[in-house]
Amino acid sequence: MTNEPPRSDLSEPCEPAADPGPAELSAPQMRLLPWSSPDEKPCFLITDGAGGPVSDLADSIEEIQLGIGEELLRHARAMHGDPKVPDREFRFLSRRLAEALGDALRVARN
């Protein structure tokens, strides 16, 4: 028997805590999805940021929407340089640009 005092947990060497992964660091968040319900209400996904099939689909749709916006912008710039473009084409383009801007703003806010 020795005369050493009993050891406590505080005297034990400390091992560093395991590094938590990204999923453990993220609290659940609500993500606005790039589509609406049949009655035009916004759709949300509760996510931990780790991804998944619905999140991947939403990312793909957002990329498509942004690509459409870029294409429309290129088309609009070309139309402005052509004085023979009828007004009805500008109105049509204006509606499509408004839709694309709405999609882009929805993505940006998310």
Report the C-alpha dihedral over residues 84, 88, 91, 93, rounded to 10 degrees: -70
- Selection from 8, 62, 67 nearest residue 33 by Cα: 62
pTM: 0.65
110 residues of the chain, pLDDT tens digit each: 445 444 544 444 445 455 555 545 568 888 889 988 999 898 999 988 788 999 999 999 999 998 999 999 999 999 988 889 999 999 999 999 999 998 888 878 77
Interatomic CA distance for residues 56 and 53, integer angstroms: 5
